[in-house]
Amino acid sequence: MGTAEPQVASTRDVQQPQVTDGFHLVIDALKLNGIDTIFGLPGIPITDLTRKAQAAGLRVISFRHEQNAGYAASIAGFMTQKPGICLTVSAPGFLNGLTALANATTNCFPMILISGSSEREIVDLQQGDYEEMDQLAIAKPLCKAAFRVLHAEDIGVGIARAIRAAVSGRPGGVYLDLPAKLFPQTIDAEAGRKSLIKVVDPAPRQIPAQDAVQRALELLKSAKRPLIVLGKGAAYAQADEEIKSFIEKTGIPYLPMSMAKGLLPDTHPQCASAARSFVLPEADVVLLIGARLNWLLSHGKGKTWGGKSAKEWGGQKFVQVDISPQEADSNVRIDAPVVGDVGSCVSRLLAGIGSNWTKPPAEWLGAVAERKNKNIAKMAETLAKDPTPMNFHSALNVVRDIVKANPDAILVNEGANALDFTRSIVDMYQPRKRLDVGTWGVMGVGMGFSVAAAVVSGQPVIAVEGDSAFGFSGMEVETLCRYNLPVCVVILNNNGVYRGDEVNPTGGRDPAPLVFVKDARYEKLMEAFGGVGVHATTPAELREAMEQAIRSRKPTLINAVIDETAGTESGRITSLNPTAKKK
Ligand code: ADP
Ligand code: TPW
């Protein structure tokens, strides 16, 4: 071990001892564990790692900003159940990747941020090294686990621990600190090979206790108005068949959370999305599968759930299937927690319902269907309108048709109104095809998610972006072009954050804080790098451009110009604005 030259053999006849180094041990450890792609951005001290990784057959996707590489890694983790790898340089590169790492942890996406770091001796004495920062200490509170490797022979253990921490139990983000000095360290090749660990069973199944399953089934059986809520944990678990069978056998209406859309097709007769505001307050027993009762579900209480005031419990009983035993009771009482992985839990629930299960009362199913049909008819009327200029609805009606015709395509979605309207208008037909802003409602995931979705799946990607949302990662259109990815970006352009018609009431020289340059030609950004740019002002132009993009698989950016007065502040979550809260 050490950075010294390999020992020179004493006679000419004796072969030079074979050595390996830190660079190759990192690459070999990743490959040994089935990791085939690195998302990152090169620079000291990891430049050669990117080159050597590519030479060793790993796919290395280089970004223009580490945050986007980080988001790409995290969503690759969500899609594949393998930790997505993001590789960055020290201090500023590391910090740029950190937002994505924290976001991954918040969303339960498995990812490993690997950052090069500077000399420990200098960092610890704060003597001002190049890009000096105590990265491990900074990462720790923002991720599930953080490790540093100082010696080449520990690389195998470091990567094995990082993989296990990222994917076992509740998945999340892991930080792995690799100091510059580690990479050129050499050790005997055979010893190096032996030091690597192929992780056996990285995400062990967690079987729920039989009495917990029984308790849950009894509660469900007693329900008059049962409801199932599917969250992105259910989508992540890849237990699609078990979930479908359970829902269909029980006959219980279900509500998919945003990224669980498509687990069963949104057009499924039991899908209650179009009756959300009816089923939440009316249900008496709710089965949560891989969904937290956080703000996205109004914390399980208040008016959304039929409570009389903002904080009051609506009276529902809850069954919660989750891999994290600490999740139950985080917001309201969970009457029947079922702790385990979704696949194991749902298959046991399915086995437990047996053959004499009675479907929910017709009265409940009828009421849900009635509300749903009424809302669907109302939406159809709105979608049929063709106003000038285009608005969210007339543009998204086109996206809805294109996704229906291309159910394999992956839909990436961010913005405020652009997010809310897309979620409710565009039906999804297959699991894990909708990738969006997740638990934080974070802007900036768009192009990173799009790159990863295309790279991981090989399928076409449609990214529906608010014009503000797009700006956070817009430079990555160059990455789309460089790797020639089949991504069609649709910017719903209303000239600003939320909408574009605000004026500075003081009459001062600056525009209002929420508005952008009017009539911006975003499509020229894509043209600058050799992709296809389209300026679309009608649904017909949008449709033609999207069809062409899917057919050609060329990176395409469609600047879909919509009414700048369309949209509301913060979209559907205006009520969370502090000023609104005061009222
Ligand atoms: P959503 O935003 O779609 O409601 P959340 O991110 O709030 O979903 O919740 C996802 C939940 O799924 C988390 O509580 C997480 O612990 C859980 N989870 C993740 N993976 C699994 C799995 N394989 N089995 C069971 N639960 C899981
Ligand atoms: C990292 C706050 C939420 S939504 C949004 C911002 C800035 C943009 C909304 O405008 P857009 O969409 O994209 O044009 P639309 O359809 O309503 O016109 N910084 C981060 N995350 C968040 N969520 C914000 C700021 C925000």
Spacing, Cα 88 to ligand 2 middle (Å) = 26
According to the model, what pLDDT value does residue 381 have?
96
User: In whole angstroms, what is the distance from residue 95 CA to residue 89 CA?
Assistant: 9
**Which residue's CA is minimally distant from atom 4 of ligand 2?**
416
Query: What is the rounded average pLDDT of the residues 104-124?
Result: 97
Q: Which residues pair with 336 in a beta bridge?
A: 319
Q: Per residue in 31-88, pLDDT tens? A: 999 999 999 999 999 999 999 999 999 999 999 999 999 999 999 999 999 999 999 9
According to the model, what pLDDT value does residue 323 have?
98
Query: For the chain, what percentages of helix, strand and coil (3-state, to nearest 5) are there?
Result: 45, 15, 40
Q: 439 in ligand 2 pocket by Cβ < 6 Å? A: no
Choice between 19 and 581, residue whose per-residue pLDDT is larger:
19
3-state secondary structure of 196: coil
User: In whole angstroms, what is the distance from residue 57 CA to residue 304 CA?
Assistant: 51
For the residues of 420-460, what is the DSSP string, one character each? HHHHHHS---STT-EEE-GGGT-TT-HHHHHHHHHHHH-S-
User: In whole angstroms, what is the distance from residue 397 CA to residue 382 CA?
Assistant: 10
Q: 229 in ligand 1 pocket by Cβ < 6 Å? A: no
Q: For 16-30, 109-123, 507-521, 568-582, which range has the lowest pLDDT when averaged over its residues?
A: 568-582
Which ligand is located closest to the Cα atom of residue 258?
1
**Which residue's CA is minimally distant from atom 20 of ligand 2?**
443
**Which residue's CA is minimally distant from atom 10 of ligand 2?**
497
Q: Is the pLDDT of residue 11 over 50?
A: no
Neighbours of 344 (CB within 10 A): 20
According to the model, what pLDDT value does residue 73 have?
99
Q: Is the pLDDT of residue 555 over 60?
A: yes
Q: What is the reported pTM?
A: 0.96
Spacing, Cα 231 to ligand 1 middle (Å) = 6
pLDDT band at 16 (very low <50, low <70, confident <90, very high): low
Cβ burial, residue 246 (10 Å; 0-12/13-18/19+):
buried
According to the model, what pLDDT value does residue 2 have?
42
User: In whole angstroms, what is the distance from residue 172 CA to residue 231 CA?
Assistant: 16
Spacing, Cα 291 to ligand 1 middle (Å) = 5
Instruction: Calculate the CA 305 to chain-centre distance.
Output: 27
Which ligand is located closest to the Cα atom of residue 106?
1
Inter-helix orientation angle 446-457/66-80, to 10°: 40
Give 399-405's long-range contacts (Cβ < 8 A, gap of 24+): 399/425, 399/426, 399/462, 399/464, 399/490, 399/546, 400/425, 400/426, 400/427, 401/543, 402/462, 402/543, 402/546, 402/547, 402/550, 403/427, 403/428, 403/429, 403/462, 404/429
Kindly state the DSSP code that residue 530 receives in the 8-state scheme: T
Which ligand is located closest to the Cα atom of residue 501?
2
Query: What is the rounded average pLDDT of the residues 462-486?
Result: 98
- Owner of token pair 């106003």: 387
Q: Per residue in 176-230, pLDDT tens? A: 999 999 999 999 999 999 999 999 999 999 999 999 999 999 999 999 999 999 9
According to the model, what pLDDT value does residue 15 have?
63
Residue 135 one-letter amino acid:
Q
According to the model, what pLDDT value does residue 174 have?
99
Choose which residue among 213, 246, 323, 435 to substitute to test ligand 1 binding: the one with the highest number of ligand atoms within 8 A of its C-beta: 323
Q: 467 in ligand 2 pocket by Cβ < 6 Å? A: yes
Query: What is the rounded average pLDDT of the residues 404-426?
Result: 98
Q: Is the pLDDT of residue 14 over 90?
A: no
According to the model, what pLDDT value does residue 419 have?
98
User: In whole angstroms, what is the distance from residue 358 CA to residue 229 CA?
Assistant: 20
Q: 147 in ligand 1 pocket by Cβ < 6 Å? A: no
Neighbours of 530 (CB within 10 A): 12
pLDDT band at 574 (very low <50, low <70, confident <90, very high): confident
Q: Per residue in 222-281, pLDDT tens? A: 999 999 999 999 999 999 999 999 999 999 999 999 999 999 999 999 999 999 999 999
| Domains delineated in the chain | 19-195 (3.40.50.970), 210-370 (3.40.50.1220), 385-581 (3.40.50.970)
Choose which residue among 413, 497, 572 to substitute to test ligand 2 binding: the one with the highest number of ligand atoms within 8 A of its C-beta: 497
Which ligand is located closest to the Cα atom of residue 235?
1
Q: Per residue in 138-189, pLDDT tens? A: 999 999 999 999 999 999 999 999 999 999 999 999 999 999 999 999 999 9
Mean pLDDT, the chain, rounded, equals 96
